[in-house]
Amino acid sequence: MQAQQVACDHAARIEELTLTVAKSRRRTRPTSTSIITETDAVDTTRSEAPAWSTSTSNRIGLSRIPPLVHIMTKGVLDPQAAYCVDEWRRKNPGVSVLLWTDDDMDAMVSVHVPYLQPLFRALPRGVLRADLFRYLVVATFGGVYADSDACPLKPLGQWLPTVSLRAEKGAGSTTAAADGSSQTAAETPLIGNEDVALVIGMESDLATDDWYRFFARQLQLCQWTFAGVAGHPILTAIVAESVQRLRAKWAAGLGESGWPSITNEDVLDLTGPGVFTDVILAAWRTGKYQAGFEDLHYLTEPRRFGDAILLPIVAFSPGQPQPGSDRPGIVGDRNSPGALIRHLFLGSWRAEGDALRNSQ
């Protein structure tokens, strides 16, 4: 009976967040269903979000990120994944853990980003929708996204550094202060967590030339868990770039029967960690940060980039093998002080791709 009540309460919250939040939104209906040409702008005016989704008392580590955890599910969770979901709730009382089914995802897209609905529904592989949705849901509502098999090792309140970090001014380069004098990154003022609006973790950091055999990028960011505020420009840029790549891929298949073949490698670049990493690092390479590969290579401590924090590998990928790395200690293990997430790798999206290829 208690489990039934939890399920009913959860369903009500999903409906409230997905549909009721948008009751007073004015939307422009798409004039075309083509996933290539549909770029109509949509009025993104929002009504007030439910109080439980914006409570300031439960903000993550005193940051601006709201107390929401978004997890996608096909309905019946693997026992290990169910354990992970329970751990999110147990370790974070007062935080709303929302399980999004396929129907929930479709409803959210149709209400909040209707101009993307034709593309979202037309995507030929479920993993493409899952990737795109994780960016959309955090960009729309804010909070934490986590794969269903990403188990929290520590409460969200312990995610961010307990000491102030220095604002990055260009990875140690000399910059001009307000008075015209030179100022190094080490001399820039200390800042706390109050303005943190994006939390990203490193997934891989390889020094070998054959890194492409193991990951989509030599230095790759983790997208099985991340957090941010609604409307963060980096999150919206990830959505935009991913959509652009998907539309280009679809266009490449014109004259054939629907989409061209989507390989597992395509997934990584179109919607997976490839595009996720490309957009974020491009943002941090430009302007005052000038953060290149060497500045982030073998990161062992959290780094600030404006309102974003980048966590080292040990945070979201503790113990994950780094082939060819000459510093295996940077990944630690799940008992390391900085370990926050243990990823169980229960997903079968690669097997889905292999099955599709074998059937052709």
Phi, psi of 324 (to 5 degrees): 85, -5
Q: How would residue 257 be classed by pLDDT, with cut points 50, 70 and 90? A: low
Worst-scoring range by mean pLDDT, 253-267, 275-289, 334-348? Answer: 253-267
Residue 308 lies in a domain: yes
Query: Looking at the domain assignment, is residue 18 inside a domain?
Result: no
The pLDDT of residue 105: 96
**pLDDT at residue 19 in the model:** 58
Total domains, the chain: 1
| 82 Cβ contact list (under 8 Å, min separation 6) | none
User: Would you call 183 helix, strand, or coil by DSSP?
Assistant: strand
Does residue 98 lie within any of the structural domains? yes
Q: What is the pLDDT, as a whole number, of residue 77?
A: 87
The answer to whether residue 127 is domain-embedded is: yes
The pLDDT value given to residue 90: 96
Percent of the chain at pLDDT > 90 equals 41
- pLDDT category at 333 given cuts 50, 70, 90 is confident
Residue 25 included in any domain: no
Distance CA 308, CA 188 (A): 16
pTM confidence score: 0.79
Quick check: is 303 in a domain? Answer: yes
Task: State the DSSP code for 208.
Answer: S
Of 47-51, 74-78, 156-160, 249-253, minimum mean pLDDT range: 47-51
CATH number at residue 139: 3.90.550
Instruction: Name the pLDDT band for 193 (thresholds 50, 70, 90).
Output: confident
Q: How large is the C-alpha radius of gyration of the chain?
A: 21
Q: Determine the structural domain holding residue 316 and report its residue range.
A: 52-163+191-358
Residue 43 lies inside a defined structural domain of this protein = no
Evaluated on CA atoms 208, 214, 220, 226, the torsion sign reads: negative
Q: Please indicate, yes or no, if residue 149 is contained in any of the structural domains.
A: yes
pLDDT bin (cut points 50, 70, 90) of residue 166 is low
pLDDT tens, residue by residue, 30-58: 333 334 333 333 333 344 555 545 554 45
As beta bridge partners, residue 310 has 200, 303
Q: How do residues 304-313 score in pLDDT, each as one tens digit?
A: 888 899 999 8
